[in-house]
């Protein structure tokens, strides 16, 4: 009697041959999936232990980091065309992988744009690749790239467990257990205009469990609109609020000035923007919960976290390999500030190898493969020009959070239209005095920069809903070869 499989008739002999091949093939796939799942669970447990242990690594985590780096270097030599010119990568091991990595060029967004066809994994990438990431416009021109964030889920799960003491599945089981303040646009019946008419300043994101199933729009946080934000939060009562630090700070200040939330948050999780310790503490007091920082990129090249109400970040040894380099490309010493250069273990389809994150950070040492950052100092693109057209990074001389006046500033921005002069745009609190203005003038005077103050009600947001520190209108001088 003939048998039928997928609409095709087979004899008994043909069926037995098919079955004999089917069982071991699918059994092997079943066990591969089980091993992969077990490895993820083990990684999550180790991450939770790192977070609970104050970011103190162990010989085991250092070995894991070196193993991942060595495997990545061998992989890119075998399957990424650009790196075929470096045959020494084929011999990468735990003992030599750091020195081999240091022989590769530092890359950036412009490098990726120029060489993108040669930076993709020849076996994983194809024309119809389904998953893409997109950087914002705050660090230059936007960039799109294929993604495979294989480590993101374990890191997010571990972080939520650490922040709340709850299993992530229990958080996600609650409708709107996590909400986000970001640059989304509100929608009602598919229309932003109808949403605003109905005082709806949010949009549902039902499939976005890690990043919030309801997005609140940072563009409309005004005195008139914030009561509706609070009303919605009191209605849905999330466990965690995450998102842009300035957007959450606006909410916190409104709550502090009016009435507490009608429920108890488990945690606030600030990301995507620099959040100084003073802002973390202010948010924590107003919203009545601990505030944690998460530090990363859309590129998926590194993952950092803080303890509650702390501005010291620890970078995961399972997510990527990080370096802090000076302007000449040399490693900085502990306590010094440099460029954060990252190599991702997760995004194999387009690997990020010695990629300049664009951030200036203070290096706090490495322990058991866990790199510590004792300060996020801002974007390397945040600079001004003096009258002789010398570029002056704001990092190190205009860190507003170390000045006394920062306690009296709600928002600020530095604009430069002419070399040797800046406009200091400030949304000041009622406690602002002439002494605060004098302190800022004195800081700029040390670099021979004249300051004009522009007092405003608020700082306009970028197209992505973030606040820009600098608006630079002075064209750079072309350097001669």
What was the pLDDT predicted at 480?
43
Q: Answer whether residue 403 is part of any domain.
A: yes
Q: Answer whether residue 347 is part of any domain.
A: no
Lowest mean pLDDT, pick from 21-30, 77-86, 275-284: 21-30
Q: Answer whether residue 404 is part of any domain.
A: yes
Q: Answer whether residue 353 is part of any domain.
A: no
Q: Answer whether residue 468 is part of any domain.
A: yes
Q: Is the pLDDT of residue 330 over 90?
A: yes
Residue 199's pLDDT band (cuts 50, 70, 90)? very high
Domain that holds residue 421: 383-472
Q: What is the CATH number of the domain that holds 456?
A: 3.30.300
What was the pLDDT predicted at 113?
85
Q: Is the pLDDT of residue 350 over 90?
A: yes
What integer is the mean pLDDT of 338-352?
93
Q: Is the pLDDT of residue 223 over 90?
A: no
- Distance between CA 272 and CA 466 in Å, rounded? 9
What integer is the mean pLDDT of 357-372?
93
Q: Answer whether residue 467 is part of any domain.
A: yes
Q: Answer whether residue 394 is part of any domain.
A: yes
What integer is the mean pLDDT of 303-329?
95
Residue 16's pLDDT band (cuts 50, 70, 90)? low
What was the pLDDT predicted at 27?
64
Residue 60's pLDDT band (cuts 50, 70, 90)? very high
More confident residue, 256 or 443: 256
More confident residue, 235 or 186: 235
Q: Answer whether residue 408 is part of any domain.
A: yes
Q: Is the pLDDT of residue 227 over 90?
A: yes
What was the pLDDT predicted at 275?
84
Q: Is the pLDDT of residue 418 over 90?
A: yes
Q: What percent of the chain has pLDDT over 90?
A: 55
What integer is the mean pLDDT of 227-249?
94
Tell me the per-residue pLDDT of 249-275, one tens digit each, with 9 for 90 and over.
989 999 999 999 999 999 999 988 778
What would the two tokens of residue 39 be?
């490895």
Provide the domain count of the chain: 1
pTM: 0.79
């Amino acid at each position: 009697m003939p048998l039928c499989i997928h609409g095709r008739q087979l004899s008994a002999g043909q069926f037995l041959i098919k079955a004999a091949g089917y069982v071991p093939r699918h059994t092997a796939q079943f066990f591969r999936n089980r091993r992969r799942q077990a490895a993820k669970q083990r990684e999550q447990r180790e991450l939770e232990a790192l977070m609970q242990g104050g970011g103190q690594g162990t010989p085991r985590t250092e070995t894991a980091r070196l193993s991942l780096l060595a495997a990545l270097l061998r992989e890119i030599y075998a399957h990424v065309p650009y790196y075929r010119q470096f045959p020494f990568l084929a011999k990468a091991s735990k003992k030599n992988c750091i020195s081999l990595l240091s022989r590769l060029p530092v890359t950036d967004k412009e490098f990726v744009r120029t060489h993108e066809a040669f930076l993709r994994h020849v076996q994983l990438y194809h024309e119809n690749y389904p998953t893409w990431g997109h950087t914002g416009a705050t660090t230059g021109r936007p960039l799109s790239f294929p993604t495979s964030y294989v480590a993101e889920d374990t890191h997010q799960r571990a972080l939520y467990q650490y922040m709340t003491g709850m299993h992530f599945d229990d958080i996600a089981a609650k409708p709107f257990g996590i909400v986000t303040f970001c640059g989304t646009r509100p929608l009602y019946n598919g229309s932003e205009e109808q949403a605003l008419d109905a005082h709806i300043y949010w949009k549902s994101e039902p499939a976005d469990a890690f990043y919030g199933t309801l997005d609140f729009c940072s563009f409309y946080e005004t005195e008139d609109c914030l009561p509706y934000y609070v009303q919605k939060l009191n209605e849905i009562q999330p466990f965690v609020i995450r998102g842009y630090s300035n957007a959450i700070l606006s909410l916190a200040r409104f709550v502090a000035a009016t009435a507490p939330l009608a429920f108890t948050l488990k945690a606030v999780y600030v990301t995507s923007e620099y959040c100084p310790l003073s802002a973390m503490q202010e948010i924590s007091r107003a919203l009545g919960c601990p505030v944690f920082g998460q530090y990363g990129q859309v590129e998926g090249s590194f993952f950092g976290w803080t303890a509650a109400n702390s501005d010291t970040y620890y970078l995961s040894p399972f997510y990527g390999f990080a370096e802090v380099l000076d302007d000449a490309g040399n490693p900085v010493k502990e306590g010094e500030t440099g460029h954060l250069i990252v190599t991702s273990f997760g995004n194999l389809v387009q690997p990020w190898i010695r990629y300049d994150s664009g951030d200036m950070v203070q290096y706090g040492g490495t322990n058991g493969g866990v790199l510590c950052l004792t300060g996020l100092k801002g974007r390397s693109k945040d600079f001004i020009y003096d009258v002789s057209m010398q570029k002056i990074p704001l990092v190190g001389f205009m860190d507003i959070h170390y000045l006394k006046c920062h306690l009296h500033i709600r928002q600020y921005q530095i604009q430069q239209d002419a070399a040797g002069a800046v406009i200091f745009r400030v949304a000041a609190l009622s406690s602002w005095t002439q002494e605060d203005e004098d302190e800022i003038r004195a800081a700029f005077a040390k670099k021979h920069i004249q300051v004009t103050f522009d007092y405003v009600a608020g700082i306009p947001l970028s197209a992505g809903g973030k606040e820009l520190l600098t608006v630079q209108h002075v064209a750079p001088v072309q350097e001669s070869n």
